């Protein structure tokens, strides 16, 4: 049995009176690609943000390997350094080149020497296919390239897992492919990932395990074959039929 990297137990989160996450529990094993799907506004992104505590959960516990990271007084900066996060809107540091965006983490958080950090950054930028753009600033890159730099930025910290928050939702259809390709390669290289996405093709072909969320709860969880072919819940089936309809309309 593979080692458990992340364990989430009975997580709750409210904004004011609205409860966004209503008791979510799951585990992620080493090298696993876990894909979270579901309608918009069901707390998928909030769930990711509660894992690395960009939002602090109201209730519930989270373990990274065997460390409970929801304990008070834990050094959250150190924890976040080993959890990569890829944002929907990239959020590259606008005043830094691609290279500096990737090496600033190793230099300023891991406190590596510039030389060493640069070596790592170049390696990661090569890994996402951007070795020829290292001196470009974010505003000089396409959306797809920016997202690949942000993936390299996460990789450069040598994280235990990477959280992807709808990484292709802000991209032109033409640019989605290059980002998905990078993510597919990461999955092949056994990088542990949790991916929130609406890309069903990616979910069905790359995910080891799919979580279907609706209304702040996990309705179903299982391998893609099972979830897509034989959903247990009506809600899941309805979601998929809507999506297939949409794809069908596109085909016309």
Partner 1 sequence: MGSLISIELALAFLGLGFVVGIPLAVGEVYGNKLVKNLVVLPIVEFFRSIPALVLLFLFYFGASSLNLSLSPFIAALLAMGFRSAAYQSQIFRGAIKSIDVGQMQAARSIGMSKFKAIRYIILPQALRISIPGWSNEYACVLKDTSLVYALGITELMRQGRYIVARTFGNAILVYVICALIYFIIVHFGVKLLDFLEEKYKIPGYEIKKVTTRV
**Chain residues that interact with partner 1, rule: CB under 8 A:** 52, 54, 77-85, 87, 89, 91-95, 104-105, 108-109, 137-140, 150, 153-154, 157
- Of 104 and 122, the one with the shorter C-beta distance to partner 1 is 104
Q: How far is the CB of 84 from partner 1 (least distance, A)?
A: 8
Nearer residue to partner 1 within complex by CB, 87 or 212:
87
Q: How many CA atoms lie within 13 A of 80 on its CB side?
A: 15
**Is 109 or 122 the residue whose CB approaches partner 1 more closely?**
109
DSSP structure string for the chain: -PPEEEEEEEEEEEETTEEEEEEEEEEEETT-EEEEE--TTSSHHHHHHHHTTSS--SEEEEEETTEETTSTT--HHHHHHTEEEE-TT----TTS-HHHHHHHHHHHTS---HHHHHHHHHHHHHHTT-GGGTT--GGGS-HHHHHHHHHHHHHTT--SEEEEESTTTTS-HHHHHHHHHHHHHHHHTT--EEEE-S-HHHHHHH-SEEEEEETTEEEEEE-HHHHHHS-SSHHHHHHHHHHHHHHHHHH-
Q: Shortest gap between Cβ of 174 and partner 1 (angstroms)? A: 20
Retrieve residue 72's tokens.
């008070």
CB of 85 to partner 1, least distance (A): 4
* C-beta closer to partner 1: residue 3 or 140: 140
In this complex, which beta carbon is closest to partner 1, that of residue 85 or of residue 202?
85
Nearer to partner 1, 71 or 135 (CB): 135
- Write down the least CB distance from residue 112 to partner 1, Å: 13
Can you tell me which residue has the tokens 């830094």?
A: 96
């Amino acid at each position: 049995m593979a080692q458990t990297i992340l364990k989430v137990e009975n997580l709750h989160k409210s904004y004011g009176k609205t409860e966004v996450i209503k008791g979510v529990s799951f585990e992620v094993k080493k090298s696993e690609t876990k894909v979270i799907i579901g309608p918009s506004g069901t707390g998928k992104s909030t769930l990711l943000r509660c894992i690395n505590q960009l939002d602090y959960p109201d209730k519930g516990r989270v373990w990274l390997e065997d460390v409970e990271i929801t304990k008070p007084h834990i050094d959250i900066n150190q924890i976040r350094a080993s959890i990569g996060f890829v944002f929907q809107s990239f959020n590259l540091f606008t005043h830094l080149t691609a290279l500096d965006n990737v090496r600033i983490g190793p230099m300023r958080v891991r406190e590596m020497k510039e030389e060493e950090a640069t070596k790592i950054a170049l390696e990661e930028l090569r890994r996402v296919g951007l070795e020829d753009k290292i001196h470009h600033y974010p505003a000089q890159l396409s959306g797809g390239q920016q997202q690949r730099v942000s993936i390299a930025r996460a990789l450069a910290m040598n994280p235990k897992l990477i959280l992807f928050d709808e990484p292709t939702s802000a991209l032109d259809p033409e640019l989605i492919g290059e980002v998905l390709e990078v993510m597919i390669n990461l999955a092949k290289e056994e990088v542990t990932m949790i991916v929130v996405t609406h890309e069903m093709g990616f979910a069905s072909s790359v995910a080891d395990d799919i979580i279907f969320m609706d209304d702040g709860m996990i309705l179903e969880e299982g391998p893609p074959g099972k979830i897509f072919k034989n959903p247990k819940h009506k809600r899941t089936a309805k979601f998929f039929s809507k999506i297939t309809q949409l794809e069908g309309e596109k085909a016309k």
